[in-house]
Amino acid sequence: MLKVDRISKSYRPKGWLNKAHRKQVLHAISFEWDRGECLGIIGESGSGKSTLGRLLLGIEKPDHGIIAWDGQPITDRNVRQGNISAVFQDYTSSINPFYTVRQAIMEPLKLAGGSPPSFMESYAGKLLQQVGMDESYLDKYPHKLSGGEAQRVCIARALSTGPACIVLDEAISSLDGSVQMQVLELLRNLSDSLGVGYIFITHDIAAAAYLCNRMMIIQDGRIVEMVETKQLKDVQSPYAKELLRKVMA
Ligand SMILES: Nc1ncnc2c1ncn2[C@@H]1O[C@H](COP(=O)(O)OP(=O)(O)OP(=O)(O)O)[C@@H](O)[C@H]1O
């Protein structure tokens, strides 16, 4: 289980001559994520969603507070490995252009070490099938893939280490409408078949409602509401009500 305990984060303003105070981006964020669950983190641009995502992945450290996986600090690479992985919005820069699909999918396992090459050969094909692509893609390079296919490859790569949790940061935002729906369906099916859970970071409350069982709504780096998706229409905070109103309009 992932436990986020009163984390805060600030940044120095950009430009090293800029003497303005550090900007507080996250304020005392606390929540828990349980195995198998899909938690949506919803907020408008600049609310701190991606910053929170980077902290959850241990890419950056909070100024204060602790993020722990089964009681161990997430900043420890060994704790993250095999437990938590990520899919980002920009699938084009997520895949090394000189890697084949096979190499891209196997990259995390190779970095982790310990898997024999013969296993990785057959495993790459299996992962590709799990995301709805056939093995003919294994030797293709990323520029030959559509956006939806490239994002499926990123999902296969995120699955390769058998994580319990995948952090999806605006993972469908760059895809066309119908492809977004296909990827959402794929994520739902993978959760049902493999038991993998998600932290789904998005500005798109409708997409989150489709995939997530619970939603955390953040505004200016603060949690304003934590709500079960089935109770979404009963949100209390004016900000969450306004977000919902925009979707309904
Ligand atoms: N490395 C950084 N250095 C300085 N400021 C940063 C840095 N990363 C984020 N910020 C600032 O933190 C605030 C929150 O950014 P963040 O990207 O987390 O928001 P977001 O909700 O994900 O927005 P978006 O959906 O537009 O990406 C913004 O004001 C941003 O400029």
Supply the ipTM of this predicted assembly. Answer: 0.96
Query: Containing H/E element for 83?
Result: none
Residue 216: helix, strand or coil by DSSP?
A: strand
Structure-block tokens of residue 25: 């981006």
Model confidence at 20: pLDDT above 80:
no
| Domain ranges for the chain | 35-62+70-83+163-249, 95-162
CA of 26 to the centre of ligand 1 (A): 10
CA of 52 to the centre of ligand 1 (A): 9
To which residue do tokens 């252009």 refer?
A: 97
From residue 194, how far is each of 42, 70, 164, 191, 234 by CA, in Å?
25, 20, 9, 5, 31
Between 12-26, 117-131, 186-200, the lowest mean confidence (pLDDT) is in 12-26
| Strand 214-219, strand 38-42: pairing | parallel
State pLDDT tens for residues 224-236. Answer: 999 999 999 899 9
The pTM for the full model equals 0.94
Domain spanning 35-62+70-83+163-249, CATH architecture: 3-Layer(aba) Sandwich (3.40)
- How far apart, in whole angstroms, are the C-alpha atoms of residue 33 and residue 40? 10
pLDDT at res. 17: 62
Model confidence at 18: pLDDT above 70:
no
Nearest residue by C-alpha to atom 17 in ligand 1:
50
Residue 139: helix, strand or coil by DSSP?
A: coil
What is the best residue among 51, 57, 217 to mutate for testing ligand 1's pocket, by most ligand atoms within 8 Å of CB?
51
